Amino acid sequence: MMSYPTQRPRRLRRSETIRRLVRETHLSPSNLIEPLFVCTGEGVRRPIAAMPGCFQLSVDELVRECRDLTSLGISGVILFGLPDSKDPEGAAAADPQGPVATALTALRREYPSLSLWADVCLCEYTDHGHCGPLTTGPDGRTDVDNDRALPRLANAAVAYAQAGADVVAPSDMMDGRVGVIRRALDDAGRTDVVIVSYAAKYASGFYGPFRDAAGSAPAFGDRRGYQMDPANGREALREVALDLDEGADIVMVKPALAYLDVVYQVKTRFGVPVAAYNVSGEYAMIKAAAANGWLDESRIMIETLFCIRRAGADIILTYFAKAAARLLA
């Protein structure tokens, strides 16, 4: 190996032109998906306290918001619903008249080429805030009933597909849900609908602001009985293998920043399209520090997104999508 003074790596850093030529990773609005919160009503644009710049939007406002996103070249949006009523089973998740289904139909009509993703989970629809119906196990403990959640998740996925979603993204972490959803979509004649599974979804404190935004905080306990332990990396690879086996087209790692090793391993091991979710807490940290004048928001935003791409994510779900696309333009 030759070294200094023959080798001078700084030569390739001296101007933006040369840096651009040797850049290994690229970031474009087409890599980005914007998460949006849909509520009922009309003309609603309710700010979310811990996520400055994000709103709960009624369908009409959501349609308007997506005009900017499409003109900026952002590939798609993922929708989360705020229903008017909740019950122990989360029945409203599959309501074809619910906010998500209504929004999907409106967006499909207005923006034929925008990729429409529907998050599939029950926690926004159950009155206890867990990701499936509850049961009391033989040991007397309350738990989410995995196998009773599955048909409900499948019904929701089919309802979203029929309303206009081209991607469904199960985020519940129940065992076997990808296979059950794939079969239900196929039986409904929707072999065309893509499944992005939240394959490695960790039980993370970084979801705090989201749970206020989506009204989905569990009323008791936590999600550690179904979401993954942050201490585990190898288990993520097992989860990904299972979901791919069941028919997932794209796998997701969530959160992104504290889990870039997982993103990297999934990408190198499986070589399939990988998405990473730059979650609400990661967004809130940057926003809060920037509001205090402690960090340069634009710079950190772009740096963060580049690093998620460098780790191996093809797709990034981020509340920064619109702001980043503006900066990249």
Q: Does 119 bind ligand PBG (CB under 6 A)?
A: yes
Q: Which amino acid is at 127?
A: D
For ligand PBG, give the closer residue by CB, 190 or 211.
211
Q: Count CB-CB contacts under 10 A for residue 192.
A: 9
CB 223 to ligand PBG: min, Å: 6
Is 287 among the residues known to form the active site?
no
Question: Contact, 10 vs 22, CB < 8 A?
Answer: no
Determine which residue in the list 207, 226, 259, 320 makes contact with ligand PBG, applying CB under 6 A: 207
Q: Does 315 bind ligand PBG (CB under 6 A)?
A: no
Per DSSP, the three-state class of 251 is strand
3-state SS of the chain: helix, strand, coil percent to 5?
45, 20, 35
> Binding-site residue total for ligand PBG (CB under 6 A)?
12
For ligand PBG, give the closer residue by CB, 53 or 189.
53
Q: Does 31 bind ligand PBG (CB under 6 A)?
A: no
Is 267 among the residues known to form the active site?
no
Determine which residue in the list 31, 56, 58, 280 makes contact with ligand PBG, applying CB under 6 A: 280
Contact region with ligand PBG (CB under 6 A), list: 8-16, 37-45, 137-145, 210-218: 210-218
- Mention every residue, 6+ apart, whose C-beta is less than 8 A from residue 236: 199, 200, 228, 253, 262, 265, 266
- Cβ-count burial 277-295 (b if 16+ within 10 Å, e if not): bbbbbbbbebbeebeeeeb
> How far apart are the C-alpha atoms of 223 and 112, rounded to whole Å?
36
Contact region with ligand PBG (CB under 6 A), list: 55-63, 208-216, 240-248, 256-264: 208-216
Per-residue x/- track, 94-113, ligand PBG (CB under 6 A): --------------------
Q: Does 279 bind ligand PBG (CB under 6 A)?
A: yes
Phi, psi of 193 (to 5 degrees): -80, 130
| Residues known to be catalytic | 201, 254
